[in-house]
A = this chain, B = another copy of it.
Amino acid sequence: MQFLSDNSAAVHPRVWEALRAADEAQAPYDNDALSQRLDAAFSALFGREVSVLWVATGTAANCLALATICPPHGGVVCHREAHIEVDEGGAPGFYLHGAKLLLAEGEGAKLTIEGVRAVIDPIRDDVHQVQPHALSVTQASEYGLAYRPSELAALGALAQERRLGFHVDGARFANAVAFLGCTPAEAAGPCDALSFGCVKNGGMSAEAIVFFDLGLASVARYRRKRAGHLQSKGRFLAAQLLAMVEGDLWLANARAANAAAAEIAAACGERLLHPVEANELFVRLTAAERDALRGQGFGFYDWGDNAARFVTAWNTDEAAASALFRAIAAL
* Interface set of A (CB-CB < 8 Å, partner B): 2, 5, 7-11, 16, 20, 23-29, 32, 55-57, 59-61, 63-64, 71-73, 75, 86-100, 127-131, 199-200, 204-205, 219, 221-233, 235-237
Contacts and interface: CB of A to CB of B under 8 A. Distances in A.
24 contacts: A8-B25, A8-B28, A16-B20, A56-B229, A61-B228, A63-B228, A87-B128, A88-B226, A89-B129, A90-B98, A90-B226, A91-B225, A94-B97, A94-B98, A97-B97, A98-B98, A127-B225, A127-B226, A127-B230, A128-B225, A131-B222, A205-B205, A228-B229, A229-B229
A127 B236 CA distance: 19
Contacts of A23: 10-11, 16
The 9 closest A-B pairs by CB, nearest first: A93-B98, A60-B228, A89-B225, A59-B228, A127-B225, A8-B28, A7-B232, A90-B130, A97-B97
A20 B230 CA distance: 24
Contacts of A75: 90
Contacts of A222: 73, 89, 127, 131
Say how many copies of this protein the assembly contains. Answer: 4
Contacts of A57: 228-232
